Chain A
Amino acid sequence: MPTTIDGMAVVTGGWHTRRSARRLADAAGRAALQECGGGAPEVDLLVNAGLYHDRNMGEPALAPLIQEDIGANPSDPYPGGAGTFSFDVANGSAGVLSALQVVDGFVRAGTVATALIVASDADPGHGLAPGFPFSPAGGALVCRRRDGPGGVGRARWCNRPDGGDSFRTTVGMRSGRNVLVVDRVPGYADRLTDASSVAVAAVMEDEELAAGDVDVVLVSPGLPELVTGLAARTGIAADRFVAAAEGLHTVAPIAVFDAARRRNRIAPGTTVLLVAGGAGVTAGAVVYRA
């Protein structure tokens, strides 16, 4: 049984949340569950695809803290109670796509019925990321197991390893402090375009889709050159593309989905092509049938 996306939410940072990826993910998770009439106790699996943690925390994963905050079965297990399993997936601005694929594996294997994917970007605070370049935002997807066709298809990926030359985020000593630094160089968009177009071609071949069969292409990160390049290489009409807002990072694949939905670009039966790329360089593509 395939995975369908039943709920979705994107939140932006306010004074209370702009320096806390955890609080942004909490707010997005709660809003997404509320939107589809769900509650935290139904969440069997919680996957966080955000990279930036408050104070650059490395352990535990952020997902258990979010699980506790939103009240998704946080207590000791009781006999017969399945509880909630939480962990983080990291794949830069393509992490949500990896998380969707991981969730689909759990759903199709019958291991879980409801999963919550969250991602958020925020300055870790305490002066630990001078010049942090991304806008504070959080996003969440509620994924459920559903009978019938449609839902999340098989993802295809393309890696073009460059050792992080074009994009990297590190935490290391600078001027006597351990700080987070994001380095991006010109040319990153070209490399992403190359990897993304290979992934898109593979998934269109798998799904036996012609360029005209794709109703909407959701592209992240929101780099204008990436959209232009993909339209040229794939032959899909430029007006079918929706790009994530610039300045969003791990949350971009959720934000672009939400933006397309709000513009009424996604209706039952719509064939959606999700494309997400990230540092490495890596890019993935998957078809979602609404």
Chain B
Amino acid sequence: MARIAGAGRCLPDTHLPTAELMKSTRHRTGIDLERLTGIYDRRVSSGEHDSLSLATGAALDCLRSSHRRGADLDVVINCSITKYRGGLVQWLEPPTSMAVAEAVGATRAMTFDVSNACAGMLTGVFILNNWIRRGAIERGMVVSGEYISQIGRNAARHVRNVMSRELASLTLGDAGAALIVERSSADEEGITLSGFTTVADHSRLCLAWPATHEPGARMFTQSRPLQKAAIRSTPQLLGEALDEAGLKIGDIDHVIPHQTSARAIRKGMAEVTASLGGEPAHPAVRTVEQFGNTASTTHTVALVEEIQAGRIRAGDRVALVALASGIVIGVVLFVADEGLVAGHAHHD
């Protein structure tokens, strides 16, 4: 069995309120982004951070809170979409994981990167869970640094109205996140299960590539079809995962969905409730209002937030629900144990 032994994050100090971002648009858009999405703020790098430094900061926070050392890690997997180092230069190789491993002293760790859009980190957890269950490794880290707010800055120059395919780009914020997954003792429940599927018919609903003549990237999203497809498929996958684990939705204490917008999370959870005939013990976790959509890091950023606020406690059963471009739908079910929660106790 495997457990989530540590969680860490790194948030830039600079706030970018939605009102300020919308003031910077080139065109008079008439969009009330805060009303549409619930997002009133996000953290952004003002040049002091790139993808690598955010990932490294989160990895160090994760090691500190879990009382582990870099040398304890058998594997480091970086799962970010953005791989910017030294400004807006995207590094395809060497893998970012190798630089993170070197920075945190994970000298004997095997390293490679995973790319699976906003489901990257949870895909990494799935990979580590498999290896740990069959005894191939003892402990690994999944890490991501998303310096992705530059997509929003680019979109602010191009968005004309609410129908723009770059509207979702304005919801993005920067963050780093890291999780440690390790072998657990037989009496600890840890990770109950992880399950993913890719509904590739919808693979072209959200596409991003480097901007042609501007630094950074641009992202084009068909938000409504994407949301419809997600709402259609998520309850079924979640229901099947719960059945396999012998659980009901009411047995889940906290659902942490991917953080796209407050409205999308409310709609999605309403569909889950209608489809599965119940709801989790607590309302779905939402941190999107204050941090925006931080891509592959959202679940971990929210997990740390909830633990630090004392809302997720030792023994609570948590469902991390992935929704990502691809489209990827997945769930990681786990029990937050004393070790994970205690690491952040000083924040209470």
Q: How far is the CA of A198 from the CA of B136 in the complex (A)?
A: 20
CB <8 Å contact, B130 and A74: no
Residues of B within 8 A of A132 (CB): none
- CB neighbours (8 Å) of A89 from chain B are 112-115
Q: B23 near A: Cβ within 8 Å?
A: no
A171–B210 contact, CB under 8 A? yes
B163 in the interface (beta carbon within 8 A): no
Residues of chain A contacted by B104 (CB below 8 angstroms): none
In the assembled complex, B20 has its CB within 8 A of some CB on chain A: no
A92 engages B200 (CB within 8 Å): no
Encode contact with A along B71-90: 1 for CB under 8 Å, 0 otherwise: 00000000001100001111
21 chain-A/chain-B pairs, Cβ below 8 angstroms? A53-B209, A59-B325, A60-B206, A65-B204, A68-B200, A74-B199, A74-B200, A75-B199, A85-B328, A85-B330, A86-B198, A87-B119, A90-B95, A90-B114, A91-B95, A108-B134, A154-B136, A168-B93, A173-B88, A279-B94, A280-B95
A-B contact count (CB 8 A): 217
The 8 A CB mask of B115-150 against A (1 = contact, 0 = none) is 111011001000101110110100000000000000
Which A residues are closer than 8 A to B by beta carbons?
Answer: 46, 51-53, 55-61, 63-65, 67-68, 72-77, 79-80, 82-92, 94-95, 98, 102, 105-106, 108-109, 111, 128, 154-155, 157, 159, 161, 163-164, 167-173, 176-178, 180, 278-282, 284
Roughly how many angstroms separate A164 CA and B129 CA in the complex, as a whole number?
30
Give Cα A106 to B94, complex, Å: 25
Bound complex: CA of A89 vs CA of B236, how far in Å? Answer: 27
Interface residues in chain B, defined as those with a beta carbon under 8 Å from any beta carbon in chain A: 81-82, 87-95, 98-99, 101-102, 107, 109-117, 119-120, 123, 127, 129-131, 133-134, 136, 196-201, 203-204, 206-215, 217, 219, 229, 232-233, 236-237, 240, 324-328, 330
Interchain nearest-CB distance for A153 vs B (Å): 11
Q: Decide if B110 touches A157 in the complex (CB within 8 Å).
A: yes
- A68 & B201 in contact (Cβ 8 Å cutoff): yes
Given A74-B200, A83-B197, A90-B93, are A161 and B98 neighbors across the interface (CB < 8 Å)? yes
Contact A61 B207 (CB under 8 A): no
With both chains docked as a complex, state the minimum distance between the C-beta of A112 and any C-beta of chain B, in angstroms: 9
Least CB distance from B55 to A in Å reads 14
Q: How far is the CA of A27 from the CA of B204 in the complex (A)?
A: 20
